[in-house]
Amino acid sequence: MKRRREEEEAEIEEKKEETTKTKMEIVWQTPAHPAQKEDYIFHNGKRHVRPYHFEFVSHVNKRWEGKTIVDLFAHEFRGRSRDYYVNAVKCGRIQVDGENIPVSYIVKRCQKISHFLHRHEPPVMAYDVTILQNEPDVLTVCKPASVPVHPCGQYRKNTVLGILEAEHGLAPLYTGLFFFLDINMSAIHRLDRLVSGLLIIAKTPAKANSFRQHIEGGVVKKQYVAKVVGVFPDGEKVVDANIDHNPREGRSTAVVGISNGDTTLKGKSACTKFTRISTNGTHSIVLCEPITGRTHQIRVHLQCTGHPIANDMLYLSDDVVDRSTLGTTADRAAALSGSPRATISENNKEEYKYHSEDFSIDPMCTHCPNLAPDGYDGHEEGLWLHCVRYSGPGWAYECPYPDWASLD
């Protein structure tokens, strides 16, 4: 077994050397390049994206100004080593205003910085995004857990919008104009990546604006179902507790108390109504109706009741998870720290045998020849939280219940 692995590693190194000797014909992609059906690889029950060359663009802000180009990347983007950034500058993979620069170059305010790299997107658990209704001006889909709605972070093609365009030719779509979880935020709505269920997407700006007006007017009703720990109390239970979100930790907390003239409670006001649907003595299925929309509101308010979502590692414990060392997101870090089966090791990493027809190895890539980026061990689980219904004046859309919502 050991010898076989050594032979495979030697073969990969040989391919890297061949690639280095031969000038690579690279097509650098930008956000303007849409996802294509052939961009995806289905392996071990998951949807992967073929690694591709991508130009990341950013502009020098006040904090970056006056730093050398290498110091800037080494301090701000710690996912790669300083040596990598030195080599990337030397070979032109990092440029300023479209020009090659020396490693000692000092950046100036508002300059455009391009970082050309081989992008490996994380896998998602879904093979497809199920279309529920396709009307002239509205599209409704059942979003699978683990798939982000729109490009964010390490995800671009492995998103609901990317998959809908690649697999169904549906574009443009308008999620960013009307859907949002917090009416005090900019008009952006999405289901959290690990949450599944109903997603309503406008196909025209006019319809997007109509939905936006309904939400801002507070006339939209939302319903979710959750599978929680223990026997949830019978009857209706209302939780009215402020939500204080910490973006650095990726976690929210509930703040209970009474504000007076001298003291103001932290966070934003939040209210959720809960009703038990069923229970088997170990778990309960609960209908969740958020009156407001705050980050992780349902998850935190269920924690307040003493009945957190049964597989929600982030809120099953009050302990703060060190996301910087255990994972790229708070949820992933919590899963790794709280679940023995999800501890990253050589024994449980998702196995994938590199095939040259799937993608070409980039000699400068820090993730090749793996299909997924470093840090993804293949043991991700969707939350037992599912959006089932949205309704407003003259309209209502629904999504089937998930399998886990049956306690038979």
DSSP secondary structure string for all residues of 257-294: S---SS---SSB--EEEEEEEEE-SSEEEEEEEESS--
Residue 192 annotated to the active site: yes
How far apart, in whole angstroms, are the C-alpha atoms of residue 379 and residue 45? 12
Q: How many CB atoms lie within 10 A of CB 396?
A: 9
212 SS3 class: helix
Beta bridge partners of 287: 225, 275
Beta bridge partners of 59: 112
Residue of 71, 83, 97, 192 marked catalytic: 192
245 SS3 class: strand
How far apart, in whole angstroms, are the C-alpha atoms of residue 160 and residue 180? 16
DSSP secondary structure string for all residues of 102-144: -TTPBP-TT-EEEEEEEE-PPPBS-S--EEEEE-SSEEEEEEP
Buried b (16+ CB within 10 A) or exposed e, 234-266: eeebebebbbbbeeebbbbbbbeeeeeeeeeee
Beta bridge partners of 268: 243
Residue 172 Cα distances to 34, 132, 138, 201, angstroms: 11, 18, 12, 10
Token pair 């209704």 in the structure block, residue = 133
How far apart, in whole angstroms, are the C-alpha atoms of residue 114 and residue 206? 36
Q: How many CB atoms lie within 10 A of CB 285?
A: 20
How far apart, in whole angstroms, are the C-alpha atoms of residue 119 and residue 231? 45
- Judging by DSSP bridges, how do beta strands 196-202 and 385-392 pair with one another? parallel
Any idea which residues carry the catalytic annotation? 192
